[in-house]
Chain A
Amino acid sequence: MNPVAKEAGGTQVADAGPVTRSREPLLWSLFSAGGMASAMLLPALAGMLWIAVPAGWVAAPEHGAILAVATHPLTRAAVAVLLTLFFFHWAHRFRYTLYDGLQLYHLNLLIAVATYGIASALSALALWILWTLG
């Protein structure tokens, strides 16, 4: 390998960007946990809540009953954790879809700040809504 090519190869190594490598495992584990949680729960939950019940296949819960379930401390805590994982799952995957799929390499910083920023803001919003629910 000649020196010029070697140098070119050396500088082509993508910089870690705003999200340093040390943070990558944390973000990946949030992505992974969110992926598993959404894979296990969401098809049944979405199918029931947004299709089976509105379409009338399953009786709609009374408001009092669903409110009691929604405001139970365990539900609040579980939903807060799940929503945070969902949002960070989206952020991580969407970040790399924009990065690789649309090849927006030059917008690496902007994309990372936007995706993880939106996920953080939505998680905070979810926490606040669940805290004050009912």
Chain B
Amino acid sequence: MKGAPGGGGAQGGRDDWDRYAPRSALNPRHTRHHPRWHRERIPIFWWVRNRRYTLFIVRELTAVLVLYSGLLLLAQLVAIGRGPESYEAFQEWLAQPWALALHAFVVAGLIFHTITWLNLAPKALVVRVGKIRVPPQAVLVGHYLAWIAVSALVVGALVGVAR
């Protein structure tokens, strides 16, 4: 299969052709430039047609919500640092109905991020105790328990600060 006629073998390559019949003689339009190979054009929104692909892109786009959360957290810290009036104003801004609606959407997206992320954990992480591999289900359950524990800590800490 390999190689051109003439049996150039491994080091032969395409130039072996020329030894027997220069391509310029066979085809005057021949150039030594590489031919363009055919590639089917895929529409930019290829992921809309299939539910699995759409969920994949939505999952990837949850990273935008992570970025947004980081920025909003930073803004809230700046408001806190500037003093009580600034902090109050920020809290009032957060209490507007459209802001609450936006952040309900953000939290829903963040939960989707957490679920998809934790579901991948057993595939990414092989935990061994001694020589025995911890079953993937246990790794999964462990991650969800950790999520519950961390969430309880966060809620508890914030309620504690409010008192």
> In the complex the two chains form, what is the Cα distance from A61 to B84 in whole Å?
11
> In the complex the two chains form, what is the Cα distance from A121 to B161 in whole Å?
31
Q: Known interface pairs A83-B74, A122-B70. Does A43 touch B117 (Cβ–Cβ under 8 Å)?
A: no
Interface residue ranges of A101-134 to B (CB < 8 Å) = 101-103, 122, 125-126, 129-130, 132-134
Q: Known interface pairs A54-B100, A59-B162. Does A89 touch B151 (Cβ–Cβ under 8 Å)?
A: no
Interface of A is mostly: helix
Interface residue ranges of B131-148 to A (CB < 8 Å) = 146-147
Contacts of A25 in B (CB 8 A): none
Q: Known interface pairs A11-B34, A34-B66. Does A61 touch B146 (Cβ–Cβ under 8 Å)?
A: no
Against A, the Cβ 8 Å flags (1 = close, 0 = not) of B70-82 are 1111101110110
Q: Report yes or no: A4 in contact with B161, Cβ–Cβ below 8 A.
A: no
Please tell me if A65 contacts chain B, counting CB pairs below 8 Å: yes
Contacts of B91 in A (CB 8 A): 53-54, 60
Of all chain A residues, the one with the shortest Cβ separation from B2 is A1
Please tell me if B4 contacts chain A, counting CB pairs below 8 Å: yes
Counting chain A CB atoms within 10 Å of each CB, which of B2, B35, B114, B158 scores highest? B158
Contacts of B126 in A (CB 8 A): none
Please tell me if A14 contacts chain B, counting CB pairs below 8 Å: no
Number of B residues with CB within 8 Å of any CB on chain A: 62
Query: On chain A, which size bracket covers the interface?
Result: 35 or more
Contacts of A134 in B (CB 8 A): 80-81
Contacts of B84 in A (CB 8 A): 63
Interface of B is mostly: helix
Q: Known interface pairs A35-B117, A50-B103, A55-B100. Does A86 touch B67 (Cβ–Cβ under 8 Å)?
A: yes
Of all chain A residues, the one with the shortest Cβ separation from B62 is A93
Please tell me if A19 contacts chain B, counting CB pairs below 8 Å: no
Of all chain A residues, the one with the shortest Cβ separation from B88 is A63
> In the complex the two chains form, what is the Cα distance from A39 to B124 in whole Å?
15
Contacts of A4 in B (CB 8 A): 14, 35
Contacts of B7 in A (CB 8 A): none
Q: Report yes or no: B111 in contact with A101, Cβ–Cβ below 8 A.
A: no
Besides A39-B114, A97-B63, 6 new A-B residue pairs in contact (Cβ under 8 A), listed by A number: A3-B4, A35-B113, A40-B147, A50-B72, A94-B60, A122-B70
25 residue pairs from A and B, CB less than 8 Å apart: A3-B3, A34-B66, A36-B117, A39-B147, A40-B114, A40-B146, A42-B110, A46-B69, A46-B107, A48-B155, A53-B91, A54-B99, A58-B162, A59-B159, A59-B162, A61-B161, A66-B161, A70-B81, A71-B81, A101-B57, A103-B44, A125-B74, A129-B74, A130-B77, A133-B80
